[in-house]
Structure 1
C-alpha cells in the first residue's frame, strides 16, 4: 500500500456518464490515451449500478440524459456516504449561468461546457486529482506511520463490507497490538516506541496487495482488512508479518519485538466494522492471555476483553 501521490494519471479510474455514443467514445479515447482507466455508463441509473461494483477516483457526467439527468444523479451520489466524496465533473452543453451555478452548488469540482478541448479537460482532471490528494493526505493518514488513520480505516473497511452484502464474498479483519509496548515506552522512551511503530508499519505493508487495507486504530493497535480472504489464510498472512516485524526490530532495544493478533471473518463473524473489530479484539485478547506473539482466529467461546 502506497501513500505517495500518484505521478501518472493512469493511477486513476474515471467513470464517464454520457448518453451520446459519439461523445462517450471521444471521452473514452481522450482519457484512456492520457493513461486513465475508463468505465462508461449511458445513463444515471446505469452509472449508479456500476458504482456498486467498481471503485473509481472521479466521475465525469453529462447533464441532459434520459431517465435521470446529471443533477439528479449527483444528488443520489451525495446521499451515499461511500460515494459522496468522489470528485465530480459536469461536462455538458447546458452552459447558462443558472446551470453552472446549480451544478457547482452540488459540490462538483468543475463545470465544463461542450464543445470542449480534450487536452484542457485532461489538464483540469489532473489538477482536480492533485488538489484532492494534497488536501486529503493529512486528513486520511496517521501522521507518524503514514498508514490510514482510524476514521479513514473504518470508512474504507465499511465500503468493502457493503460490497460483500451486494455480491456475496468474504474477507478477514485483523486486530493487533504490540506486545509489551508500554514497557518499551517506560524503559526506553517515546522515541523508541515511535521506532517500534514505524517498524511495524513497514512489516504490515511490505508485501500486501493494492486492495488490502491497513491502518492505525490507536496507540499501538492496528487494524487490517484483506478482501476475498478467509480467516485461515488471513492468519497465515499475519504470521508472516509477525516474522518480518521480529526481523525489522531485532536490533532495537533488548531484542526483537512481537505482537498479538486476532482475526475475524466477514460476514461469518460480523457484517459491520464495529462487530468485526470487537470479535477480532476478543481473539487478540485470547492470544495475549495464551502467551502473546500469536495470531488467533475468533471463536464463539472466546471471552471479551475486560
Structure 2
C-alpha cells in the first residue's frame, strides 16, 4: 500500500470514529421521535422526521462499517413509508412498529459499545507520520529506430519541449538499455532490417521474459491492418505512420505520461447528513478529485457559479427541499442543463427513482456503496461530461480554449480573485510576421507553428494558468494569483524558448517570435476592460520592434 492509499485509509477510519462518536445522539433522536409517534401517530411533522432519521441511518451505517444496522434501518424505513403513503394504522400495529424501533435501538446501542471497545485497534494507525516527497521522474524516452537522419529534426524539437531522448539504432541493444535506464516511454519502429514486424516481435519477446517495459508507442512505414493489429497485441499505446507529425506525436506522448495521474474532477456533494457527506468527500479526494460539500440546498446555485462542478452528488431526502425538487431548480438554469446529477440514496422505490430521472438525474446509486464503485461511477460520468464540454469549448486546431470559453473562464477567475483579494493577470499574444510564414511556407506549416506555440504554452506554464486561442494567430493566457509584473517574467521565458525552436519546411528551417501585452485585475474589475488594456499593450509591443512583452499602461 502506497502513502496515498494509507493516508486515505487513515482518514476514512477517522471519519468512522467520528460517526461512532455521534451514534448516541442519533439513537436519542430516534428514541424521541419514536416516543412522539406512539403518543401522537397523526403528527405529520414528527413521522416525516422519523422517516428521515431512519433513511439517514440506512444510508450511513453500512458506509461506516455497520451493514446489519443499515439493513435493519432500511426495513423500518420501508414500513414508515407505508404509513406515510397509506391508510392510518390500527393501534396494535403502531405499537408493534414502535416496539421494533426500540429493539433496533437496543441493538444499535450494543453495537456502539462494542465499537468503543475496539476503538484502540481502529485508531492504531494514524496518518501522523511525515510523508517523504517522491522526486519527479525525468521524461526520459528510449527511441529505437535504425534511421537517424529522418528522426533528427523531430528529436531536436522533442528535446526543445523538455524530453530527454536516448537513441538506439540496433535492436539487439534495446534489452541492455532497458535494464540500465528507467525510461518513461519507449518509441519503437515496428520494422528493422527490412523485417516488417521485427520491432513488434522484439517487444513481445521482452514481455514474455517478464522484463518491465514502459508504455510503448509504435512507428511504422507500413500502413497495413496486420501491422496495426500486431502493434495492439504487443501492447502498443499508439501507432504513428512515417513521416511523423511531431506535434501529434508530442501531444500523444504527454497524454500517455499523464494517464496515471488522477483526473481532478470537481464534484459537489449535497447531503444534510454531514458525516456521510464528509466521508464521500474524503473518498473522492483520495481518488484525486476536488470536492465541495454543501449541507444547505438553498446555497446550491450560488456555489455552483463559483465552484463550477463537473458532477453533482446528492441525496433524495433532505429537509425543506428534497433531491428531486433541487434537481428541478438546477435544471431550470440553462447554464447547468448538461451538468451530471447523480443521486446517492438508500431509496429503493422504483417510482421515486423514475421521478428523479424525469427531472434530469443521470444515475441513481444505492447506499451503502463501496468507495471503489463510487469513484468508478462518478469518474465515468464526469469524464464524459468533460469530454463533451471539451468538444464545445476547445479550438479544433490547437486544442486550447476557444474565444467564448476563455472569456467565461476569465469572468470566473476575476470573480474569485475579487473575493480573495488576489490579482489575476491576462496576457494577449500574437505571432510576429505570421502572414509571411503562411505566404512563404504554406498554411499547413503555419498551422504547425500555431500548434507548436500552443503546446509550448501548455507545457511551460502552471497547471492553474489557462491558455486560449483568441482568434487567428492571437492567443490569450490567464494567470490566476499573479501580478502583471510576475506574469511578464514567466511569459518572457516562454518567449525566449519559442524563439529557439526551429520549424521545418521544404523551403528550409526558420524561427518565429511573438509579442505580448499584459495587464492585471488591479487595473480594472471588468474582464472586457482588462483584455482591452492587455490588447493595447500588445499593440505597442508590435509597433515598437516586436518580439517583446509590454505591460499595460496602468501596470507599468
TM-score (norm 1): 0.82
Distance 2:373 2:461 in 1: 36
Distance 2:543 2:375 in 1: 56
Matched, 1:164 2:417: yes
Normalized per residue, the structure richer in helix is 2
Distance 1:184 1:45 in 2: 55
CA contact (8 A) 1:43 1:65 kept: no
Distance 2:261 2:490 in 1: 31
Matched, 1:14 2:264: no
Q: Deviations over 1:265-298 (max 9, x none)?
A: 11x3332332222221111001111111111111
Q: In structure 1, what is the equivalent of residue 461 of structure 2?
A: 208
Q: In structure 2, what is the equivalent of residue 274 of structure 1?
A: 528
Q: Residues 14, 112 of structure 1: CA spacing in aligned structure 2 closer, same or farther, 3 A cutoff?
A: same
Larger CA Rg, structure 1 vs 2: 2
Report deviation, 1:136: 3.0
Q: Residues 288, 130 of structure 1: CA spacing in aligned structure 2 closer, same or farther, 3 A cutoff?
A: same
Q: Residues 227, 78 of structure 1: CA spacing in aligned structure 2 closer, same or farther, 3 A cutoff?
A: farther
Q: In structure 1, what is the equivalent of residue 311 of structure 2?
A: 58
Report deviation, 1:164: 2.3
Q: In structure 2, what is the equivalent of residue 111 of structure 1?
A: 364
Q: Secondary structure at the match of 2:381?
A: helix
Q: Residues 264, 30 of structure 1: CA spacing in aligned structure 2 closer, same or farther, 3 A cutoff?
A: closer
Greater alpha carbon shift after TM alignment, 106-115 vs 232-241? 106-115
Distance 1:145 1:249 in 2: 19
Q: In structure 2, what is the equivalent of residue 227 of structure 1?
A: 480
The one of 404, 407, 424 equivalent to 1:151 is 404
Distance 1:100 1:170 in 2: 46
Q: In structure 1, what is the equivalent of residue 501 of structure 2?
A: 248
Greater alpha carbon shift after TM alignment, 47-56 vs 225-234? 47-56
Question: Gaps (5+ residues) in structure 1?
Answer: none
TM-score (norm 2): 0.48
Q: Secondary structure at the match of 1:244?
A: helix
Q: In structure 1, what is the equivalent of residue 443 of structure 2?
A: 190
Q: In structure 1, what is the equivalent of residue 515 of structure 2?
A: 260
Matched, 1:285 2:539: yes
Q: In structure 2, what is the equivalent of residue 43 of structure 1?
A: 296
Q: Residues 188, 21 of structure 1: CA spacing in aligned structure 2 closer, same or farther, 3 A cutoff?
A: closer
Matched, 1:295 2:546: no
Q: Secondary structure at the match of 1:264?
A: strand
Report deviation, 1:116: 4.8
Q: In structure 1, what is the equivalent of residue 379 of structure 2?
A: 126
Q: Residues 169, 31 of structure 1: CA spacing in aligned structure 2 closer, same or farther, 3 A cutoff?
A: closer
Matched, 1:135 2:391: no
Report deviation, 1:91: 1.9
Q: Secondary structure at the match of 2:517?
A: strand
- Aligned pair count? 300
Q: Deviations over 1:121-163 (max 9, x none)?
A: 4332232123223333322222221212222222222211221
Matched, 1:87 2:345: no
RCO higher in structure (CA 8 A, sep ≥6): 1
Distance 2:436 2:267 in 1: 48
Distance 2:511 2:370 in 1: 58
Greater alpha carbon shift after TM alignment, 207-216 vs 140-149? 140-149
CA contact (8 A) 1:264 1:280 kept: yes
Q: Deviations over 1:68-88 (max 9, x none)?
A: 433454455456677665432
CA contact (8 A) 1:82 1:155 kept: no
Q: Deviations over 1:249-272 (max 9, x none)?
A: 466766421111111111x33323
Greater alpha carbon shift after TM alignment, 142-151 vs 69-78? 69-78
Distance 1:284 1:291 in 2: 11
Report deviation, 1:192: 1.8
Greater alpha carbon shift after TM alignment, 104-113 vs 224-233? 104-113
CA contact (8 A) 1:262 1:296 kept: yes
Q: In structure 1, what is the equivalent of residue 166 of structure 2?
A: none
Distance 1:106 1:286 in 2: 53
CA contact (8 A) 2:310 2:386 kept: no
Q: Secondary structure at the match of 1:270?
A: coil
Q: Residues 209, 72 of structure 1: CA spacing in aligned structure 2 closer, same or farther, 3 A cutoff?
A: farther
Distance 1:196 1:106 in 2: 47
